[in-house]
Structure 1
Amino acid sequence: ADGTGADGIEADAAVVDGATVGVPNYFGQQRFGSRRPVTHRVGLAIVRNDPREAVRLYAGNPAPAEPDDTRAARGRVDAAFGVSGGADDASDASGEASGEATGATDLAVDGTGDGDWAACLDDIPRKLRFERSMIHRLADRGVSPDAPRDHDDWWHALEAVPSNLQRLFVNAAQSALFNRIVSERLRRGIPFDRPVAGDVVCFADVDAPDELYAPDADRLQRVEADRVSVVTRHCERGRAFVTAPLVGTDTELGGGEPGEIEREVLDDAGIAPSDFALPDEFDSAGTRRAILLRSDLDVTVDGGDPRFAFALPSGSYATVLLREFTKSGPLDG
């Protein structure tokens, strides 16, 4: 069964009922925005020390799925910055993400912007209160769209949004890089449920309930070649998990081929761990995250529709697991 229809989903579910299943522990699309996947791109601009582009991506940059009035308002913001050509490439950063999720694909400010932030405020709907807050700060200071990309005025505009959203921007950038690392690992055929030499593993949370496979990212160990078989047994029993970095200033990258992948993804994105030394709420030390999402799965069929019951550790996404059976996209009902 391919799982693409109701019969396929039911057949797939029957195969795994009562089993322990494992899927790549991707960040789900909701981490980045389902209808306007831009949060990680704002964060990547911040980490690249380009707060001007971060403001533009958030307040401008219309997406096809948005209402007409919102698209028009964002288009006016792009015009104030001096960007034209329609919506940017809003790449899917979840699941089977490609390089576009982290690459420098954003449109460039071309020097033709009128900087009429007051006109932008006339067009931006009241419902876009965070976008309005950013543009208000630009208007209050009379910021030129040609001001240096890292000028304090751009940081001042970014800081108009709540502190939790400031952190979310950078967290989403870390998440997109993580997804890209996991995708490249799978593309190369490297297992994600057991280690290879150079991997960094974490151990299970000893305080977690018995039915929950919960990694403890504070208990890390690098896997040397002579320890691969021993650590593999721990992974098979749910006592250890292979990890990938959520990159930050304190990140130590892996060795061997896993470390090579981590470095290549960061190089492709134009980012280094030291770049996460950022002002105030944007600063992040980083951590590591298990790349295997493991769960005991129970399935019942109600009226022909399968119902899934499972427990997940904090920070993992039910949608990521369920998409393995439904094969649905982030905008599907």
Structure 2
Amino acid sequence: MKLKCLPEDFVVEEIAAVEPTGGPFALYRLEKRSLGTPEALQAIRRRWRLPQHAVCHGGLKDRHALTRQYVTIYRGPRRDLRQTNLTLTYLGQTERPFRSADIVSNAFEIVLRALTERQAKDVLNTVDVLATEGVPNYFDDQRFGSVGVGGDFIAKAWCRKDYERALWLALAEPNVHDRAREKRQKQILRECWGDWGECKRRLERSNRRSVVTFLADHPRDFRRALALLPKDLRSLYVAAFQSALWNRLLAAWLRQLCKPEQLVPVSFKLGRHPFPTRLDEGQRERLFTARLPLPSRRLRDVDPQLRPLLETVLAEEGLSLADLRIPYPRDTFFSKGMRRAAVRPEALSAAEDADELYPGRRRITLKFRLPRGAYATIVIKRLTEVGRRP
């Protein structure tokens, strides 16, 4: 099976509760192709000469896709913007900035390619049961793009107050997503780490070089150097670690809910997590009513049945709940909230046809909606990794 062969093979559109009723914030629809949300926002800021945090959005959308989402700009230009790989369409004015809570759901149209006849049949058979069985609401691999080749989390080192290690992971550790320029800059840091004058001399102008310039004057102040990283990146590092902990909590809870024969292990970037199958009515009801907390020091009144599971997950990292905080700066923190244990795709449909890109193979076009924060690629994993097994 092949996914995302073309940008049009993975289409995402935000369904949002927002209307242009007047106000100081310009509202736009952003359509982008083969471009990540951070890169698209940076292109908009550069073109219109906007400050770093001028553009507000509700969430990150896939890079290797065709996506549509909403953004707002305080007193932004009341016109459209068209550039390579992105179009910004002005929709009107709103009273406040757009935020993630405004997203009702995301609509997906996804093409699975290069399927054999048997694979296509397995996918179509599994589609029929997803309306009742749904999928576990894991954070998928896209959430963990900041995790480098060593598999260490920047925020874990940060929580342990190992500021130098956290900064090294953020600035110097290789990552499979690094492009050529990024690889060169990281290589310089690995070669010269600690010799900040030499690093500054060799690095190109960038936020990375600004951090190094600070260290040249304050050679051991890694704590404040971390705070010089862009706020959105710092928040992303914390979210990645928190999401990984939540995934492991959900996996432990599913092992408690289900019999071993009801669980199928599925591979993720950071390991394997169980997917439930063939649940009885009571299990299914528990699965779809359960909400699991996002691990955080601010968490209070943890369910007595969940607390041992959460403590075990954290102990495996050498941490306790009290450790899950970023001591500095104050604008970087672990989110507080609950997340559904499972979700059901809505308006799910599947259409099979000959694959024009892979002669002799089949393609399946899937259409469905998911609640805010749920990952379409988890649905794909359920259809292709679990559905094909007896």
TM-score scaled by length of structure 1: 0.61
Q: Secondary structure of 1:178's match? A: helix
- How far is 1:28 from its partner? 1.4
What residue identity is the alignment partner of 1:157? A
Deviating beyond 6 angstroms after TM superposition, the runs of 4 or more aligned structure 1 residues are: 37-40
Distance of 2:215 and 2:177 partners within structure 1: 27
Instruction: Summarize the Cα distance change of 1:265–1:58 in structure 2 as closer, same or farther, 3 Å threshold.
Output: same
Asked if the contact 1:299–1:308 (Cα under 8 Å) also holds between the matched residues in 2, the reply is: yes
Distance of 2:322 and 2:334 partners within structure 1: 10
Asked if the contact 1:32–1:39 (Cα under 8 Å) also holds between the matched residues in 2, the reply is: no
Q: Secondary structure of 1:133's match? A: helix
Match of 2:223 among 144, 155, 163: 155
Q: Secondary structure of 2:294's match? A: strand
Asked if the contact 2:153–2:241 (Cα under 8 Å) also holds between the matched residues in 1, the reply is: yes
- How far is 1:159 from its partner? 1.6
1:309 matched to 2:388: no
- How far is 1:125 from its partner? 4.7
- How far is 1:168 from its partner? 1.7
Asked if the contact 2:123–2:384 (Cα under 8 Å) also holds between the matched residues in 1, the reply is: no
1:294 matched to 2:344: yes
Deviation sequence 1:135-171 (CA, Å, 0-9, x none): 23212x241xxx4xxxxx2222112122222222211
- The aligned residue for residue 57 of structure 1 is 169
- The aligned residue for residue 200 of structure 1 is none
- The aligned residue for residue 118 of structure 1 is 197
**Mapping 1:176-215, distance limit 5 Å:** 176-186=244-254, 188=255, 190-191=257-258
Asked if the contact 1:38–1:57 (Cα under 8 Å) also holds between the matched residues in 2, the reply is: no
Asked if the contact 1:276–1:284 (Cα under 8 Å) also holds between the matched residues in 2, the reply is: yes
Q: Secondary structure of 1:26's match? A: coil
Match of 1:73 among 165, 174, 185: 185
Distance of 2:207 and 2:156 partners within structure 1: 19
- CA RMSD in angstroms, aligned pairs only: 3.4
**Mapping 1:109-148, distance limit 5 Å:** 115-126=194-205, 129-139=206-216, 141-143=217-219, 147=220
1:45 matched to 2:157: yes
Match of 1:260 among 281, 303, 308: 308
Larger relative strand fraction: 2
What residue identity is the alignment partner of 2:200? L
Deviation sequence 1:209-238 (CA, Å, 0-9, x none): xxxxxxxxxxxxxxxxxxxx99867547x5
- The aligned residue for residue 138 of structure 2 is 26
- The aligned residue for residue 238 of structure 2 is 170
Asked if the contact 1:47–1:275 (Cα under 8 Å) also holds between the matched residues in 2, the reply is: yes
Instruction: Summarize the Cα distance change of 1:34–1:52 in structure 2 as closer, same or farther, 3 Å threshold.
Output: closer
Q: Secondary structure of 1:310's match? A: strand
TM-score scaled by length of structure 2: 0.53
Asked if the contact 1:134–1:160 (Cα under 8 Å) also holds between the matched residues in 2, the reply is: yes
- How far is 1:34 from its partner? 7.5
Asked if the contact 2:147–2:153 (Cα under 8 Å) also holds between the matched residues in 1, the reply is: no
Q: Secondary structure of 1:17's match? A: helix
Instruction: Summarize the Cα distance change of 1:120–1:163 in structure 2 as closer, same or farther, 3 Å threshold.
Output: same
- How far is 1:317 from its partner? 1.0
Asked if the contact 2:253–2:309 (Cα under 8 Å) also holds between the matched residues in 1, the reply is: yes
Instruction: Summarize the Cα distance change of 1:138–1:251 in structure 2 as closer, same or farther, 3 Å threshold.
Output: farther
Structure 2 unmatched ranges of 5 or more: 1-111, 260-279, 355-361
- The aligned residue for residue 115 of structure 2 is 6
Instruction: Summarize the Cα distance change of 1:284–1:34 in structure 2 as closer, same or farther, 3 Å threshold.
Output: closer
Count of paired positions: 242
1:318 matched to 2:365: no
Q: Secondary structure of 1:246's match? A: coil
Asked if the contact 1:246–1:288 (Cα under 8 Å) also holds between the matched residues in 2, the reply is: no
Deviation sequence 1:9-47 (CA, Å, 0-9, x none): 412221133541422211111111188478971111112
1:274 matched to 2:339: no
Q: Secondary structure of 2:290's match? A: strand
Instruction: Summarize the Cα distance change of 1:177–1:25 in structure 2 as closer, same or farther, 3 Å threshold.
Output: same
- The aligned residue for residue 102 of structure 1 is none
